[in-house]
Chains A and B, each alone.
Chain A
Amino acid sequence: MQETERQLIEAIQAGDREALRRLYERYSRYAMGVSLRIVPEREDALDIVQDAFVSILTTIGTFEYRGEGSLRNWVAKITTNRAINWLKHHDRQLLSDQLPDEIEEEEEETPLEEVPPDILSGMIDRLPKTSRIIVNLHVFGQMPHKEIAHRLGINEKTSMSQLSRAKRLLAMMIKEYLNSQRT
């Protein structure tokens, strides 16, 4: 039976250094997935995961357990914060992008669930940079557009239109993929 997050936290707080390793083993790949969604270059994403885990493991004592899954969310949040900060310092082009506002069209239901997760994740990686980041922050980071705009230094409307653009592009990619699977 897998150790619960609560047991893991209790072990860490009891001074069990091995528990830190277990936390890492449990969530490092997940954090890498989060990091890669925002920073697609693997080497950069790895740096971010490394920094995030040093921060997580060093400050784990301050983590307030609030139910199973809260530790996982915390890991995701810290990794996301690190990735955004990295992005802001290493990729200024994002901030100065002159992004055209996309006209939001009413899309038909996209059969997301028919696409295997690794393929779908690959599709997200192929999105234009700003759209990809906004999808990841909004969908996976569950950030409202206002916060995304604040964090990235872009217009709120731009955030919304880029999400719309991403949805349309993803829908197109999914459609192509599913067609190719049927033939």
Chain B
Amino acid sequence: MKQDRQQTGKHGPEKDWAQRLRDHLADYEAPVPDDLWEKIEARLPKEVVCPTPTPKKKARIVPLWARWAAVAAVFVGGLVILWKVEGGMWRSAEGRLLPEGRKNENRYEADQTTPPKGTPPNLGGESCAQGKITPKETISSDEKTEKESAEKPIQPIQSILSEEKPILPIQPILSEEKPKESEKHPEDVIRELDRKIMEYEQRRSHKASLNLYASNGFGNQSFRNGVLMSPELLANYDYYTNPSSVGTRGGNSPVYLANHEERQQFYQPISFGLSVNIPISSGFSASSGVVYTRLRSDFTSIANSLVYERQQTLHYVGIPLTVQYNVWQWRGLNVYATAGGQVDFNVKANVTTEGSETTLEKDDLQWSVNAAVGVQYNFIPQLGIYAEPGVKHYFDNGSHIQNFFKHRPTNFNLQIGLRLNMGK
């Protein structure tokens, strides 16, 4: 009841709290900087805006073929085609929507809803004299006035958007919105449009980035094996014909040498990389570069009290190629998913035995695929830190060289790095 009174109290005999507060601060104003008008004017069309006709007419400004083309471009065009198409569009969009001089002026990216300075206004060539001013100043209630007036910006914003026809990603937005428009509350429509425009702009403004990172797997791999007695030795002991000569086990069971053991320790790979991330479409980007990986393995042979150790070190230089999709972005935080592959070339292989280093035969090409989820936080627009926990699978390259990849082909890893966002 009290709530009702708050909402409708201004029609009642007594002013309620909300009405009194509203009345008291009705003329409250806050200063604005002197140059605000220049900034606003720079974003206005050169000609004075003319009234728009009925909302339905404005909604048709986007040609049907353009919508279908846009939908086709998104759903059928594919990633690479989209990239190529946008490569051209991108630059024109950059110039039209967000002139260089304005980039740092406005942190809220919703200004793309209006044509920037220098953009020929596409106002349908109507005369401004056609403007609608209702002859009678009849207002049924303040609420009605505000309700109706508040709905007015809906169609104009759509029509303004439709003027950005050359910008491919906006068209699907409109195409998607159109069929639902009549079912939605007008404020829902404007809100949804604003949201999509902002998301699009955030993705559009995504520039190439340079990544410097380190990566490590989780957990080492170690094995302990007994040493089998060689067949020649077994023959000498006449084991198969006289098992009691070497023990109580019979048949063809393997026989292990007492006090003999072989240990293998495969350390997780450690990688350092430098890569470049290039946006290829809204939300998607591709990344490639160069990555150095070191693999170390220790082999220990124990024969009675004699310990024989070898350290094998393999050095790889790899080329990764990954595709990244931005899932969620908020302020400086960005969550994304990434997947791709990598080929590693073994550039150096050596083994150190009791302090003496010798060169080994190089390993074959090592192919791998990986997928990860990344979280990035930008301290400043130009620099961010990121972490990518993921999973990686190494394919068996068929070589005889024992290493971590062969003994643990699938493993979890964590990549941590710095990302330098270029062009910001």
Contacts and interface: CB of A to CB of B under 8 A. Distances in A.
Interface of A: 6, 9-10, 12-17, 20-21, 24-25, 28-30, 32-33, 35-36, 43-51, 53-70, 73-74, 76-78, 81-82, 85-86, 88-90, 92, 104, 107, 110, 112-113, 115, 117-118, 120-121, 124, 135, 138-140, 142, 144-145, 151, 160, 163, 167
Contacts, number: 223
B3 to A, nearest CB: 6
Contacts of B156: 55, 58-59, 61-62
Given A33-B29, A121-B25, A64 B137 contact: no
Contact of A73 (B2, B29, B149): B149
A44 B123 CA distance: 30
B29 A81 contact: no
A118 B25 CA distance: 8
B143 A142 contact: yes
Binding site secondary structure of chain A: helix
A111 B409 CA distance: 75
Nearest to A69: B145
B108 interface: yes
28 contacts: A6-B133, A12-B48, A13-B133, A17-B48, A20-B44, A32-B29, A33-B30, A46-B33, A50-B39, A50-B40, A50-B106, A58-B114, A59-B152, A61-B50, A62-B52, A68-B137, A70-B139, A73-B142, A77-B146, A78-B150, A81-B191, A85-B195, A86-B110, A88-B195, A112-B20, A113-B24, A121-B25, A142-B146
B37 A139 contact: no
Interface residues of B, number: 71
Interface string B9-50: 000000001101110110111111100110111011101111
Given A13-B51, A21-B41, A61-B131, 4 more contacts: A58-B115, A59-B52, A59-B153, A67-B137
A12 B195 CA distance: 30
A144 B32 contact: no
Interface of B: 2-3, 6-7, 17-18, 20-22, 24-25, 27-33, 36-37, 39-41, 43-45, 47-52, 106-108, 110-111, 113-115, 123, 128-129, 131-134, 137-139, 142-143, 145-146, 148-150, 152-153, 155-157, 160, 187, 190-191, 194-195, 198, 330-331
A33 B21 CA distance: 14
Contact of A139 (B21, B108, B115): B21
Nearest to B18: A139
Contact of A50 (B6, B36, B143): B36
A142 B11 CA distance: 13
B196 to A, nearest CB: 11
A93 B41 CA distance: 34
Nearest to B185: A150
